[in-house]
């Protein structure tokens, strides 16, 4: 009889406990289904917030890019073609990330230097490699040098040219501030200031001071009609070399056409320049300089 008496009491206790629990949850959340719904809704809201943050960043980046382009020259705006800003921003960030991997103790390969953007006072590359005649290229004299990144790219490009039966001749490379000052003064003495400004750079505003530039061949526009000139026009970008002063862009670059003057910016930068900036180095470097400044 004891067992028969205990069982009904236990059942009553359990029933009462369940009733209390149901009442408590009913007061707080209505029912279990409502609680689960609230939890799932909160999780979805959190995900939505994360996606919204990413979208906001994309919108900011696009607005930033559009603002920069709107401040560039009319000719730049006509030249720049961006069909998909999401893709453009992704390509830009990949390029800048790659450039950031270069030595931290020297200027970026994408540094803008021109008549209105001089180099820091006293700048000289942290490392320079002397150029000597070898199986990849020839040199016109023995006092030429380049930054390591440019030197390595020149060797690879020179060997590729040799395989095609073309020999590249390096005629001018790194120039110090003092050397460039003498070069500019010589041009002023020969042609006068106005003409010198079209042919040469004032000290501190020359790409040559970066240690990333090579003047090839005869250092005049007959180079364009040589086998080396034709080869460079077709293949230079494949090795990270970009023509700095193209024909018909003196109003943009500040200099006459220089078919012999190539600057090393890297293969990814060459592809980026060609894809979005009409293959005009000046436009790309101006954009990147402004992007970094904002």
Please choose, from the candidates 125, 174, 129, the residue with its C-alpha nearest in 3D space to the C-alpha of residue 151: 129
Would you tell me how many other CB atoms lie within 10 Å of the CB of residue 33?
Answer: 9
pLDDT score of 110: 99
Residues near 55 by Cβ (< 8 Å), separated by ≥ 6? none
**Residue 172: strand, helix, or coil:** strand
What span, in angstroms and rounded, lies between the C-alpha atoms of 192 and 199? 11
Distance of alpha carbon 37 from the chain centroid: 47
What span, in angstroms and rounded, lies between the C-alpha atoms of 77 and 140? 40
pLDDT score of 52: 85
**What DSSP designation does 208 have?**
G
Measure the N-to-C terminal CA separation of the chain; round to a whole number of Å: 88
pLDDT score of 43: 54
**pLDDT tens by residue, the chain, 294 residues:** 444 444 444 444 444 444 444 444 444 444 555 655 555 555 555 555 577 888 899 999 999 999 999 999 999 999 999 999 999 999 999 999 999 999 889 999 999 999 999 999 999 999 999 999 999 999 999 999 999 999 999 999 999 999 999 999 999 999 999 999 999 999 999 999 999 999 999 999 999 999 999 999 999 999 999 999 999 999 999 999 999 999 999 999 999 999 999 999 999 999 999 999 999 999 999 999 999 998
pLDDT score of 38: 58
φ, ψ at 119 (rounded to 5°): -75, 160
pLDDT score of 4: 43
φ, ψ at 287 (rounded to 5°): -65, -50
DSSP 213-271: EEEETTSSGGGGGSHHHHHHHHHGGGGTEEESS-TT-HHHHSS---TTEEEE--HHHHH
């Amino acid at each position: 009889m004891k067992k028969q008496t205990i069982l009904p009491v236990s059942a009553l206790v359990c029933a009462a406990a369940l009733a209390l629990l149901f009442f408590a949850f009913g007061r707080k959340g209505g029912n279990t289904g409502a609680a689960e719904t609230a939890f799932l809704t909160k999780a979805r809201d959190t995900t939505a917030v994360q996606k919204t943050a990413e979208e906001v960043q994309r919108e900011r980046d696009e607005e930033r890019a559009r603002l920069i382009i709107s401040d560039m020259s009319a000719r730049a705006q006509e030249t720049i073609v961006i069909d998909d800003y999401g893709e453009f921003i992704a390509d830009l960030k990949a390029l800048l990330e790659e450039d950031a991997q270069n030595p931290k103790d020297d200027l970026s390969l994408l540094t803008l230097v021109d008549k209105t953007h001089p180099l820091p006072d006293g700048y000289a590359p942290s490392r320079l490699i002397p150029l000597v005649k070898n199986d990849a290229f020839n040199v016109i004299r023995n006092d030429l040098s380049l930054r390591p990144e440019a030197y390595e790219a020149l060797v690879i490009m020179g060997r590729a040219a040799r395989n095609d039966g073309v020999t590249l001749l390096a005629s001018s490379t790194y120039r110090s501030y003092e050397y460039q000052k003498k070069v500019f003064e010589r041009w002023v003495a020969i042609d006068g200031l106005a003409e010198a400004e079209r042919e040469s750079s004032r000290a501190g505003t020359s790409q040559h001071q970066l240690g990333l530039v090579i003047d090839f061949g005869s250092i005049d526009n007959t180079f364009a009609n040589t086998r080396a000139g034709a080869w460079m026009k077709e293949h230079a970008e494949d090795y990270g070399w970009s023509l700095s002063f193209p024909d018909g862009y003196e109003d943009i670059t500040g200099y006459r056409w220089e078919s012999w003057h190539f600057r090393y910016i890297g293969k990814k930068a060459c592809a980026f320049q060609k894809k979005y900036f009409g293959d005009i180095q000046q436009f790309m470097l101006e954009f990147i300089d402004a992007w970094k400044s904002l």
